[in-house]
A and B are shown apart, each in its own frame.
Chain A
Amino acid sequence: MSEADPAALAERIAAAEKAAVAQALNLIEDRRQRSQGRIEALLGRLRERAGMQRVGLTGPPGGGKSTLTAALARELRERGDTVGVLAVDPSSTRSGGALLGDRARMSFDPADQGLFVRSLATAGDTGGLAYAAHAVTEVLSAAYDRVVIETTGVGQTETDVEHVADTICLVIQPGSGDVLQFIKAGIMEIPDVLVVNKGDHGALAQRAASDLAGALDALRGVGMAEAGDDWRVPVLVTSARDRTGIDALVDTLDAHRAAQGAAGQRERRREGETHWTLSLLLRRHGEHGLEVLGGRTEVAGRIRAALDAGAIPIAVSADLGRDYLRRVASAGID
Chain B
Amino acid sequence: MVVDDEPDIRDIVAAVLEDEGYSVVVASNGQQALEMLPAERPDLVVLDVMMPRMDGRELLRRMGEHPELARLPVIVMSAAARVDRVDSGAPKIAAFVAKPFDLEFMLGTIEQIVKREAPHDTR
The answer to whether A and B come from one shared complex is no
